[in-house]
Amino acid sequence: MNIRPINSGLFYKTNYTAALTGQQTRAALPFANLHSQPQTDTVSFKRAPSQGSPFVHDPRELDLHCGCCGKLMLKNSAVQEFMDKKVYYPAYIALDKIKYEQNFRLHEQPVPMQKAYSFIKNEANRHKHLSMDELMQTERVTNYRRNNSKAQYKALAELRDRCRAVTHSIDYLVDEIGRLNPDFQKTEDTVFQEMKKFAKLYPADSISNIFTRPDIREQYLIKLQNKQNAKLKKITPLIQQLSPQYAKRANNALMQSYGIFNRESSDILHKRQRVIDLFDRALAPMPFETPTDRPVADLIMKRLESLPDSKNDANAFIVKYAPRGSNKFVEVLVKRLRNTKEHVKPQHRKGDNGESDKKNYIYLCGKCNHERMTQKYDEFIERHPQMPQNTQNQIDEICDYINRGILDDHDTWPNDIKEPLGDESEGLIVINTDKLDVEAAKKNRSTKLEKHIEEQKRKNQEADTLMTGPYRRHGKKYLNV
């Protein structure tokens, strides 16, 4: 199947697998859970949860700095809205665009696809503000998918993937990302600067087309290879310090690593991890090691961790994500700064699960959260020495939101989180909650609530006046006639 003219196979594979495993679907995102209150109205999930309340209940909806890297994070809902409204086209347009952009000829399609298309196009026309992903979550579409053939179910998934690939020009996307005003980390900022550069050269083209052009891609590949080779080169003197039998094994791993980086096709993934695994296998079992072998081996493994990857190197990012399509490229870039819940005690650590409860959350950007995984904080802090200070800054920030009566339901949170943070970090993160002022919070909240109620009353009265005004009179007159 041919979704995109360039690297279509790769694109389709990634998205299709994702569709099958359910990754990337809105339902899998924490935000969706927050908003998926009873869906009586087919589009009810679109409305903000805090309507009707003057308070914020979820710290992901506040302007907060990451508890690890300290960058100003993007509000969770702002990122979601950015993806739905700015990156993806409304479904009714995307469904037309796939016809000429992807050569999708409806009359040549099998019957289930034709049926699925005509159903979803009809739905898209009814909800012109919804993207394909949003449309797929409406009650009518969910029911349709449930009650029709497997072939139609698959056809709808294919149409969703096709619509996801319909993209805006680089010029437009650079502009829209700029409007979000992200406080990017270094790697992401470099990627963004590269995008800006090409937006000036080829404004109407797509991110994916530009960065997968052989001549342009080649430049990033060469830079990436140079960095990889330089890192490997730095390991050579360390290998010479090992005792002979281990030096031989490490040297073998080194030669194979040069091969992986320099001779294998650039489409092959996970090269960095394979290199690390090679050395891990060569150096892990060392029954005859001398006292100097172990520290040297550890140092080699540590050096390998700094091999470039898409998180710490812009070239690696561009090489990895450009073939996956422009929208995915933008999504990964922007979601790295999204405000996410971090389970202090990890959710998925064998035999030692942390709860999914705010008593176990701090707030990290998508990038730091992903990097931490299930690591203990004392290890994690080795690479992020600024974390204890930035976590304290976040506690202070949240205390301030509580005190000002903005954040509700979190009065006990600063003290609840003290112990888990201390435990996870072996005492390296010691939190001070002196800034919390529950009395002020209560006072400010009740003032806020009073104001809110006044405002609601005033609005209702205004609406009443309208109804008793010309409209009502006109209505009555009409009825009398």
Nearest to 13 by CA among 442, 393, 323, 388: 323
Q: Measured in Å, how far apart are the chain's first and last C-alpha atoms?
A: 64
94 binds Zn ion (CB under 5 A): no
64 binds Zn ion (CB under 5 A): no
The rounded distance, in Å, linking the Cα atoms of 88 and 243 is: 57
337 binds Zn ion (CB under 5 A): no
Binding residues for Zn ion, rule CB under 5 A, total 5
* Alpha-carbon separation of residue 319 from 76, 173, 241, 356, 459 (angstroms): 27, 19, 35, 35, 54
The rounded distance, in Å, linking the Cα atoms of 191 and 207 is: 11
381 binds Zn ion (CB under 5 A): no
**Is the CB of 206 or the CB of 392 nearer to Zn ion?**
392
300 binds Zn ion (CB under 5 A): no
**Is the CB of 68 or the CB of 95 nearer to Zn ion?**
68
431 binds Zn ion (CB under 5 A): no
Return the exposure string of 389-403: e unless at least 16 CB atoms fall within 10 Å of the residue's CB, then b. ebbbbbbbbbbebbb
**Is the CB of 183 or the CB of 416 nearer to Zn ion?**
183
**Is the CB of 11 or the CB of 192 nearer to Zn ion?**
192
Beta bridge partners of 341: 363
**Is the CB of 73 or the CB of 135 nearer to Zn ion?**
73
Report which secondary-structure segment, H or E, holds 180: helix 170-180
Phi first, then psi, for residue 50 (nearest 5°) are -90, 10
Phi first, then psi, for residue 365 (nearest 5°) are -70, 160
Instruction: Choose one: 45-53, 60-68, 89-97, 113-121; the region binding Zn ion (CB under 5 A).
Output: 60-68
Q: Which of 62, 64, 69, 157 binds Zn ion (CB under 5 A)?
A: 69
Report which secondary-structure segment, H or E, holds 342: strand 339-343
Instruction: Choose one: 61-69, 109-117, 224-232, 379-387; the region binding Zn ion (CB under 5 A).
Output: 61-69
Instruction: Choose one: 65-73, 86-94, 149-157, 291-299; the region binding Zn ion (CB under 5 A).
Output: 65-73
Which amino acid is located at 233 in the chain?
K
Give least dist CB 343 to Zn ion, A: 15
334 binds Zn ion (CB under 5 A): no
225: number of CA atoms within 13 Å, CB side? Answer: 15
441 binds Zn ion (CB under 5 A): no
Residues 359-378 that bind Zn ion (CB under 5 A): 365, 368
Give least dist CB 364 to Zn ion, A: 5
Write down how long the chain is: 481
**Is the CB of 129 or the CB of 186 nearer to Zn ion?**
186
Phi first, then psi, for residue 46 (nearest 5°) are -75, -25
**Is the CB of 156 or the CB of 398 nearer to Zn ion?**
398
135 binds Zn ion (CB under 5 A): no
Which residues here bind Zn ion, judged by CB under 5 A?
Answer: 66, 68-69, 365, 368
